[in-house]
């Protein structure tokens, strides 16, 4: 092999390895989150009361942050917990069931 063809070959191999590394890193799946009832059980009643208050005020992001700060949950899990809380004007109890007001 001549020295003139070594550079293009190295470039092609380098690009191929970079693409392969990217594809493999993107194909890793996150483990599924724990069941919702287990997540809610990890949150103290005080934190749930505070989160309900924030949700009632329409401050959903702050409610998620409060749950994360108090429990150390990741964003996805904390949002799932806050999504179970009743929201004003939504007409349900937060779990998709109609309220009996």
38-78 pLDDT tens trace: 888 899 999 999 999 999 999 999 999 999 999 999 999 99
Query: Residue 101: what pLDDT?
Result: 45
**How far is Cα 62 from Cα 54, in angstroms, rounded to an integer?**
7
Are 50 and 66 in contact by the 8 Å Cβ rule? The answer is yes
Its pTM surpasses 0.75: no
| Strand segments (E) across the chain | none
CB 93 within 8 A of CB 99: yes
What is the C-alpha separation between 87 and 53, in angstroms, rounded? 10
Are 87 and 94 spatial neighbours (Cβ–Cβ below 8 Å)? Answer: yes
Rounded Cα gap, residues 71 and 73, in angstroms = 5
């Amino acid at each position: 092999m001549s020295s003139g063809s070594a550079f293009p070959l190295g470039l092609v191999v380098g690009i191929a390895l970079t693409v392969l590394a990217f594809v493999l890193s993107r194909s890793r799946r996150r483990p599924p989150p724990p069941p919702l009832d287990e997540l809610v059980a990890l949150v103290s009643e005080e934190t749930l009361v505070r989160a309900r208050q924030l949700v009632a005020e329409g401050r959903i992001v702050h409610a998620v942050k409060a749950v994360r700060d108090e429990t150390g949950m990741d964003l996805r899990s904390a949002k799932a917990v806050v999504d179970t809380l009743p929201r004003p004007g939504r007409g349900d109890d937060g779990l998709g069931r109609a309220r009996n007001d």
